[in-house]
Structures are given as C-alpha cells and as structure tokens.
Amino acid sequence: MSSPEQHKDTQIRPVFFVSDGTGLTAEAYGKSLLAQFPKLEFTTRTLAFVDTQKKAVEASNQINAAHLRSGLQPVVFSTLVDDKEQDIIEHCDACVINLFHTFLGPLENCFGEESAHTQGILRTIYGEDSYQVRLDAIDYSLSHDDGVRPDQYDEADLILVGVSRCGKTPTSLYLAMNFSLKACNYPLIEEDLERDTLPDYLLQYKHKMVGLTIKPVPLSKIRRKRRPDSEYASLNVCQREIQVAQKMFDKAGIPVFDTTETSIEEIATYVVRALGISRERTGFV
Amino acid sequence: MSSPEQHKDTQIRPVFFVSDGTGLTAEAYGKSLLAQFPKLEFTTRTLAFVDTQKKAVEASNQINAAHLRSGLQPVVFSTLVDDKEQDIIEHCDACVINLFHTFLGPLENCFGEESAHTQGILRTIYGEDSYQVRLDAIDYSLSHDDGVRPDQYDEADLILVGVSRCGKTPTSLYLAMNFSLKACNYPLIEEDLERDTLPDYLLQYKHKMVGLTIKPVPLSKIRRKRRPDSEYASLNVCQREIQVAQKMFDKAGIPVFDTTETSIEEIATYVVRALGISRERTGFV
C-alpha cells in the first residue's frame, strides 16, 4: 500500500472557474497561472452563468463535493461580480482566487471614480453593430477561403499567402472571429510556383498581405496525413515549394511568418502587428 | 475655454495590455474590468511578445509617451512573467496592474509548492497532438457546414440544427476552434419544414444535437440584409419557420437555445453545457 505521501503525490487537484458569464476570462487566466505549476495535476471544470444566489449555492455544493472526492482543497478562480454570490463561493473549503474584486479597488483609485459593480455589463456595451461586423467578417472569410474570388480582394482587410497546409485557413477564420477582420487566403499552387513572382492581381494588395511559411519536415508530415505516399507530401516537393514561395515573398517585400509549431493565436497576433492593424479583438463574453 | 475639470472629463485614458505572449489573457481580463467603468473612455493597445528587457524598455517608452500625449496616467495590465521585465514596466508613470504575480503567492501557499516562474511555459505543455486535434476539428467543421455530408455525422461531436441565419455556422466554427470539437450544422429548409419531424437520419443523432432558434423580427432583419424584398426575409415566413422548427425540436426532445442578441461565445458555452460535453477549451496563448 502506498504511503500517504506517495498517495498525495498522485492526487489530482480539482479546479473550478466560476463566472456569471461564459467563464472564458476566468478559464484563460486561471489556466495560465496553473501552467506555472507543471509538476502538479489538475482537473478543471467551468461553472458558467452563475448569476443568482441559488446557482452560487449549487456551485459551492459541487466544489465541496469535489473536495471530498479528491481529498484535496480545490482551487476556485472566480470572476463573480455580485458580492453575495461571491460570498457564498468564499465559504467553500477551497482556495478562492477573486479575479474580479482584487483589482477593482486599485482601478477605482487610479480613476478617482467608483466602479459600476454590475453583472452582465459587457453585454450592454457591445451594440448590435459589433455583432454584425463580426458575422460579416466570418461570412467574408468563409466565402474567400483558399483563393476563391480574388476579384473581390478590394474588400479584404488582409490576405494570407502561402503553400498548401501552412495554416492559412485556420488563421483567417481566427482573425475573422476574434478581430472581426475580413481575412482571406490564397494558396500558392504548382502553376504559381513556376513563375518568378506572385501573380500581378495579388501584388496590387501587397500592402495588406502576409506570407506564411513552415519548415519542410513538419509540412511533409502534415501533408502525409492528408495524402500519404504522394508527391505532394514528399520532402523534396515541400522543400522546393517553401524555397520558391520564400523568394516570391522576399521579392514582393511582404512580411513573412514561420508557422512551425506555433498556435493559431500566435500567428494571428503576429499578422495583426506586422500589418499595423489596430482593430480591437472582439471576443465577447 | 473649457475649465480643467471639463477638459479632464472628455479625455481618453490610454490603456496597455503587456504580455510576453499574445496578450489575449491580459486583454480579455483587463477589458472585463474596464467595462465596470462605463462612464469613462479608454483607448487600448496590446503590446505582445514583450519577452526581452530591451522590448520591455520599448514598451515603457510607448507607455510614457501616451501619458504625455493624453495628460492622463495610463493603466497597464501586465502578464509578464520575468521579474526584471516587470520591474521596467513598473517604473513607468502608470497604474500598473500585475496580473501575473498577484495570485502566484496565494497559489503557492495553497499547493505548498513553488511556481516554475517561467516564460512561455504554456507553449511547452501543449503537445503536437493538441494542435492537430484542433486543426482536425476545424477541417471537419468547415467540410460539414450547412448540411454537407450528413452521412458522415457519426464522426461529429455535435450537430446544430436550425433555420437559415440563426447562427449555426459561426457557432460551429467557434466550437471547433475553441473547444476542438467536430461541430457541424444542418439547416432546416422548406422541404424539411413541410414534415412533422426532423429527418430520420438526423434523429438518430439527437443525443448530440442542439436546436438553435431566434426571434422572428431580428431574423427577418438579418435575412433582409442578404436578400432584401424576398419571401425568405418576410416576417411571415420567418415566424412560420421558427414555429415549425420549435415543434420539431420539442418532438425530438432536444435542447434549444435562443440566439437573439447573444454572442457566439454565449451560444457555444450553452451548447457545451447542454450536451454535457466536458471537452476543455483549447485556446492557446
């Protein structure tokens, strides 16, 4: 039988993200803090829409139950706005991190003004227009994916160019969804790569264009999943396409980003910075 | 000439989000706090990838310049991990909110363990598999959008059903991108709505199906943008389609969510909860 010490080491600590909204902020923030404890194991759960005292009591019951089951004090990241609900959560036998209240005081001091201290306030400050701008951007990006309708690129906020499977589509969609940008993408295929330069109809948009590249070995691996044993996926072809594309990017003088082992978020953040786009992120909560 | 008091009221306070990564977390968290001061005006700027002391100095120069320009002390939300970089930022004449360090101490106490205190750690804990699962989900959702290939619905994690323009596509994409879920969607069109029930080939998947609905007036407005002066967009047709769809949902016994004036995030959070999906959010930073 393992000693209590050993048993404790293998225990998984319950973590809760509690919010009166979607819980996105609590999760993202909480997880980035937990990541600083890579030796520990956690099991996480988001309790969203906890916007009444009754729901706060239900949440606290779940937290206490997790404590009993695991034998470990849970961690609770809370962005609850309502004081009474927060109080209910703080009465759990848990380590409660109050993401909302902690910084409100310092901000009130900085501004010399009291906060509204109101639940659901984010929803009221985003108007109908913001929603529509975002949906229009998603519509545009979907219907201009993969080189479709380059005759409509006047309307695009930005164009991603690169060889097949270097991350153009997911990044375009991410930019549409999270920045409300009409992002489209153009794949460099065989016939494009036989020329010296990017096509003229693309070059006129180089002020809003970013080249995406990737290392040949990972590209070959990705392509092999889609078309195993193909020329398309062979290391030779991948190397050649990447080199030719890079020359075209250099000639056009557009910024280039290497997407090897980077997340969609990182690629998107780079693209927005490289093009000097000041559009705000539009994630709603 | 306006008095100093009046002049101060109309000033726009600069806000910076400073991060050694994408700045996503700092932005989301910072904005939800700023939203509690709805009478004040802010101009926000994200300084991402501040991962060296040199970049921290450049960032602090920008912050100080913004102070001079606006005449107001900027607010800086920082998630910098490196102590020296954080120190450089804290020497700005700004109200610096330290999102990273503030809660690290309490967590260290809770766990009885020191934190790694390492930059870029999130990137190392997400393996190649996570990236691929996410990309596969996006691929699947794109290629099964709008009722395409219902013969492949075995593979879907969830199916959204509803009349045209009620939010199915953006929500599916969001679920793929942010939860790595193979989310697909099926539009209820004229011939479906002429029947009493959802098609049989859909009903076999009702355990993983959510109905989306919307109020008739907003639906009509949305449809009018796409096809002005059409039957499709008329209030009568919208009302009828919504009513018929609702009866089908009730008959099938699937959960239904009203997407009127709700964000994609809220719809997605509801869907995941309603289906009891425990998949973690997979936003990378």
Q: Which pLDDT tens digit goes with each residue over B50-95?
A: 999 999 999 999 999 999 999 999 999 999 999 999 999 999 999 9
Predicted confidence band of residue B279 (pLDDT cuts 50, 70, 90): low
Supply the pLDDT for residue B149. 93
Supply the pLDDT for residue B116. 87
Q: Cα–Cα distance between B18 and B25 in angstroms, integer? A: 10
Supply the pLDDT for residue A11. 83
Length of chain B in residues, anyone? Answer: 285
Tell me which amino acid residue B12 is.
I
Q: How distant, in Å, are the alpha carbons of B180, B191, B213, B249 from that of B241?
A: 31, 11, 10, 12
Residue A54 tokens read as 């009754």
Q: Do B29 and A28 make contact, defined as CB atoms within 8 angstroms?
A: yes
Our CA-based measurement puts residue A37 at a distance from the nearest CA of chain B, in whole angstroms, of 5
Supply the pLDDT for residue B11. 83
Q: Cα–Cα distance between B169 and B241 in angstroms, integer? A: 18
Residues of A in contact with B111 (CB under 8 A): 13, 37, 40
Residues of A in contact with B123 (CB under 8 A): 263
Positive or negative CA dihedral for B85, B89, B91, B97? negative
Q: Per residue in B92-109, is it b (16+ CB within 10 Å) or e — as a string?
A: bebbbbbbbeebbebbee
What is the rounded average pLDDT for all residues in chain A? 90
Residues contacting residue B194 through CB under 8 Å, at least 6 positions apart: none
Residues of A in contact with B46 (CB under 8 A): 269, 281
Mean pLDDT of B242-267: 95
* B213 bridge partner residues: B258
Our CA-based measurement puts residue A120 at a distance from the nearest CA of chain B, in whole angstroms, of 10
| Neighbouring C-beta atoms of residue A9, cutoff 10 Å | 12
Tell me which amino acid residue B160 is.
L
Q: Per residue in A218-229, is it b (16+ CB within 10 Å) or e — as a string?
A: bbbbbbbeeeee
Mean pLDDT of A52-61: 97
Question: Does residue B246 contact residue B231 with C-beta atoms inside 8 Å?
Answer: no
Predicted confidence band of residue A126 (pLDDT cuts 50, 70, 90): low
Rg (CA), chain B: 24
Q: Do A29 and B32 make contact, defined as CB atoms within 8 angstroms?
A: no
Supply the pLDDT for residue B2. 41
Predicted confidence band of residue A100 (pLDDT cuts 50, 70, 90): confident
Q: Which of B34-48, B116-130, B174-188 has the lowest average pLDDT?
A: B116-130
Residues of B in contact with A126 (CB under 8 A): 263
Question: Does residue A100 contact residue A79 with C-beta atoms inside 8 Å?
Answer: yes
| Neighbouring C-beta atoms of residue A176, cutoff 10 Å | 27
Residue B40 has pLDDT above 70, yes or no: yes
Helical H segments across B35-167, by residue range: 53-70, 83-90, 104-111, 121-125, 128-143
pLDDT digits (tens, 9 = 90+) for B88-133: 999 999 999 999 889 999 999 999 989 988 777 666 556 667 888 8
Q: Cα–Cα distance between A279 and A270 in angstroms, integer? A: 13
Predicted confidence band of residue B164 (pLDDT cuts 50, 70, 90): very high
Question: Does residue A60 contact residue A88 with C-beta atoms inside 8 Å?
Answer: yes
Nearest CA in chain A to B119: A36
User: Is ipTM > 0.85 here?
Assistant: no
φ and ψ at residue B184, rounded to 5 degrees: -125, 170
- Residue of B90, B142, B281, B282 to mutate, testing the A interface (most A Cβ within 10 Å of its Cβ): B281
Tell me which amino acid residue A42 is.
F
> Across the interface, which of B13, B128, B265 has its CB nearest the CB of A22?
B265
Q: Per residue in A28-42, is it b (16+ CB within 10 Å) or e — as a string?
A: bbbbbbbbbbeebeb
Q: Cα–Cα distance between A40 and A270 in angstroms, integer? A: 32
Supply the pLDDT for residue B54. 97
Mean pLDDT of B208-233: 95
Supply the pLDDT for residue B3. 44
Supply the pLDDT for residue A129. 73
Mean pLDDT of A152-156: 96
Supply the pLDDT for residue A150. 93
Question: Does residue A133 contact residue B170 with C-beta atoms inside 8 Å?
Answer: no
Q: Do B263 and A281 make contact, defined as CB atoms within 8 angstroms?
A: no
Nearest CA in chain A to B260: A128
> Across the interface, which of B110, B142, B284 has its CB nearest the CB of A265?
B284
Distant-in-sequence contacts of B278-283, Cβ < 8 A, 24+ apart: B278/A45, B279/B157, B279/B179, B279/B180, B279/B181, B280/A44, B280/B179, B281/A24, B281/A27, B281/A28, B281/A46, B281/B178, B281/B179, B282/B130, B282/B133, B282/B134, B282/B178, B282/B179, B282/B180, B283/A28, B283/A265, B283/B24, B283/B178
Counting runs of H as helices and runs of E as strands, what totals does chain A give? Answer: 13, 8
Q: Cα–Cα distance between A188 and A175 in angstroms, integer? A: 20
Predicted confidence band of residue B6 (pLDDT cuts 50, 70, 90): very low
Helical H segments across A145-215, by residue range: 168-179, 190-193, 200-203
- Residue of B5, B67, B107, B174 to mutate, testing the A interface (most A Cβ within 10 Å of its Cβ): B107
Supply the pLDDT for residue A279. 67
Supply the pLDDT for residue B278. 76
Q: Cα–Cα distance between B158 and B171 in angstroms, integer? A: 11
pLDDT digits (tens, 9 = 90+) for A187-219: 999 889 999 899 999 999 999 999 999 999 999
Q: How distant, in Å, are the alpha carbons of A66, A67, A76 from that of A58?
A: 13, 14, 14
Supply the pLDDT for residue A123. 61
CB-count exposure of residue A215 (10 Å: 0-12, 13-18, 19+): middle
Residues of A in contact with B79 (CB under 8 A): 32
What is the rounded average pLDDT for all residues in chain B? 90
pLDDT digits (tens, 9 = 90+) for A3-51: 444 444 568 999 999 999 888 888 888 988 998 998 899 999 999 999 9
Reported in sequence order, the residue ranges of B4-74 that DSSP labels E, i.e. its strands, are 13-18, 42-47
